[in-house]
C-alpha cells in the first residue's frame, strides 16, 4: 500500500532551526530554577495587588522571534526591557484583559473587565510597569548566584509588529506563566534572546552539578604503647606450587623444583600467620628482603 493513499503519512516540512525544547538535562535544571522565581513572584505580587493572585510556571520553549510576533498581532500589552549586563532586548507580554483587570483592581475598582480592545491609558500603563518591575526584579534575583543582573524598562507596545529589537531570525527563550486574579485568568510570557542568555544557562548547569563525593579521611589509629615490645612473627611465602603426596615422598637433597616465574615474584607476607601484604622478593645489603606492593583485603 502506497503512502499516497494515506494523507497522514505524507512527509511534512520541519524547521530544525526552531527547537521546541531544550535538552532534557538542561530543561530539568532550568525548570527547577524558574519554579523558584515563580513562587517568589507570586508571593510578592499578592502583596502588591492586595488580593489573592495565583501564578504557575507553564511551558518553557525556544521560538523564533518571527513566530512570537505573529502571536502578538492581537491587542496585547508588550513591555520591552533589558537585563544588564546581558545584551539584547527582551519582552514581557501581559494579556490585555488581564492587564486591565489588574490595573482596575489597583485603582480601587471591582477588577472585572469584559473582553475589550481599547487602548490602555497612561495611568494603567504606569501601574503595569510597576507590576512588571516586580516580575523582572524577582527573575534577576533568582539568577544572582549565577550572574548578577539588573532589569531596566525600555517602553511598551500594543502589537508585536511595532517591536524594534533583535532581527527576525533570532531565537527567543520563552517562559509561560499562567496567572489568575479573581475570575480573570491569562498567561504572561517572558521572552529572552537565546544568544544573550546562553552563558547563564551554561553556568547554571555547572553550578547545579552535585559536588564530587570525597572519601572521609580515616580516623587516626590510636596506638597502645604497651604493645611496643611484643614480638610478632613475620613470614614470607610463595604461592602456587603444588605437589602430590607421592612426589613429596620422593624428594631428596639436590632436587630442583620448577616455580612459575610470575608467581615467584608474588610473595605473601603473613603477620602472626595472617596474610597482610603482597610483595616482591629482592636483596638489600646482601640480605633477602620483601618490598610490600599491596595490602591484602580480608
Q: Which of 273, 238, 276 is nearest to 257 (CA)?
A: 238
What sections of 19-145 are H helices per DSSP? 24-49, 65-71, 96-106, 122-142
From 192, 208, 224, the end of a domain falls on: 208
Same-domain check for residues 108 and 243: no
Same-domain check for residues 134 and 187: yes
| Structural domain total, the chain | 2
Cα 268 to Cα 236: distance, rounded to the nearest angstrom: 6
Residue at 226 is within a domain: no
The predicted pLDDT at position 17 comes to: 45
Residues 81 and 151: beta-carbon distance below 8 Å: yes
Cα 227 to Cα 187: distance, rounded to the nearest angstrom: 78
How sure is the predictor about 284, in pLDDT bands with cuts at 50, 70 and 90? confident
Same-domain check for residues 32 and 135: yes
Higher pLDDT pick, 241 / 139? 139
Describe the chain by its helix, strand, coil percentages, rounded to 5: 35, 30, 35
Q: pTM here?
A: 0.61
Question: Region 102-115: what's the mean pLDDT?
Answer: 83
Looking at residue 125, which CATH number applies to its domain? 3.40.1550.10
Residue at 112 is within a domain: yes
Mean pLDDT, rounded, of the chain: 81
Residue at 223 is within a domain: no
Give the model confidence (pLDDT) of 34-83 as tens digits.
Answer: 999 999 999 999 889 888 899 999 999 888 888 888 888 778 899 999 99
Cα 8 to Cα 31: distance, rounded to the nearest angstrom: 34
Give the model confidence (pLDDT) of 220-263 as tens digits.
Answer: 777 778 777 888 888 888 776 778 888 888 888 888 777 776 66
Residues β-bridged to residue 80? 91, 155
Q: Give me the percent of the chain exceeding a pLDDT of 70.
A: 83
Q: Which of 42, 79, 38 is nearest to 176 (CA)?
A: 38
Same-domain check for residues 254 and 180: no
The predicted pLDDT at position 14 comes to: 42
Residues 204 and 78: beta-carbon distance below 8 Å: no
Give the model confidence (pLDDT) of 208-219 as tens digits.
Answer: 555 555 666 767
Cα 133 to Cα 124: distance, rounded to the nearest angstrom: 14
Higher pLDDT pick, 147 / 227? 147
**In Å, how far are 67, 241, 274 from 279, measured between CA atoms?**
72, 17, 15
Give the model confidence (pLDDT) of 10-24 as tens digits.
Answer: 554 544 444 445 678
Same-domain check for residues 192 and 249: no
Residue at 5 is within a domain: no
Which domain, by its residues, includes 48?
16-208
**Residue 114: half-sphere exposure toward Cβ, Cα within 13 Å:** 0
Res 137 pLDDT > 50: yes
Same-domain check for residues 197 and 240: no
Q: Give me the percent of the chain exceeding a pLDDT of 90.
A: 26
Question: Region 189-193: what's the mean pLDDT?
Answer: 92
Residue at 65 is within a domain: yes
The predicted pLDDT at position 16 comes to: 42
Residue at 170 is within a domain: yes
Residue at 247 is within a domain: yes
Residue at 98 is within a domain: yes
Same-domain check for residues 181 and 259: no
Residues 79 and 152: beta-carbon distance below 8 Å: no
Amino acid at each position: 500500500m502506497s503512502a499516497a493513499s494515506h494523507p497522514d503519512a505524507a512527509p511534512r516540512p520541519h524547521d530544525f532551526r526552531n527547537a521546541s525544547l531544550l535538552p532534557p538535562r538542561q530543561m530539568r535544571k532550568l525548570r527547577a530554577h524558574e519554579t523558584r522565581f515563580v513562587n517568589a513572584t507570586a508571593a510578592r505580587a499578592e502583596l502588591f495587588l492586595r488580593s489573592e493572585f495565583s501564578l504557575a510556571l507553564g511551558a518553557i520553549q525556544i521560538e523564533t522571534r518571527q513566530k512570537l510576533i505573529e502571536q502578538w498581532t492581537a491587542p496585547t500589552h508588550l513591555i520591552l526591557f533589558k537585563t544588564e549586563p546581558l545584551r539584547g532586548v527582551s519582552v514581557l507580554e501581559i494579556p490585555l484583559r488581564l492587564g486591565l483587570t489588574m490595573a482596575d483592581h489597583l485603582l480601587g475598582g471591582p477588577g472585572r473587565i469584559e473582553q475589550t480592545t481599547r487602548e490602555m491609558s497612561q495611568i494603567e500603563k504606569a501601574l503595569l510597569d510597576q507590576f512588571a518591575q516586580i516580575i523582572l526584579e524577582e527573575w534577576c534575583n533568582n539568577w544572582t548566584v549565577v550572574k548578577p543582573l539588573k532589569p531596566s524598562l525600555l517602553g511598551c507596545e500594543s502589537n508585536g509588529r511595532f517591536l524594534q529589537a533583535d532581527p527576525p531570525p533570532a531565537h527567543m527563550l520563552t517562559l509561560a506563566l499562567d496567572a489568575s486574579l479573581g475570575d480573570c485568568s491569562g498567561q504572561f510570557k517572558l521572552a529572552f534572546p537565546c544568544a544573550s542568555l546562553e552563558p547563564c544557562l551554561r553556568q547554571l548547569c555547572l553550578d547545579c552539578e552535585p559536588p564530587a563525593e570525597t572519601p572521609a579521611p580515616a580516623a587516626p589509629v590510636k596506638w597502645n604503647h604497651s604493645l611496643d615490645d611484643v614480638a610478632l612473627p613475620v613470614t614470607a611465602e610463595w604461592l602456587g606450587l603444588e605437589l602430590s603426596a607421592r612426589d613429596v615422598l620422593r624428594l631428596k637433597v639436590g632436587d630442583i623444583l620448577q616455580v612459575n616465574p610470575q608467581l615467584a615474584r608474588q610473595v605473601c607476607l603473613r603477620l602472626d600467620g595472617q596474610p597482610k601484604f603482597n610483595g616482591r622478593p629482592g636483596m638489600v645489603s646482601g640480605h633477602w628482603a620483601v618490598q610490600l606492593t599491596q595490602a591484602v583485603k580480608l
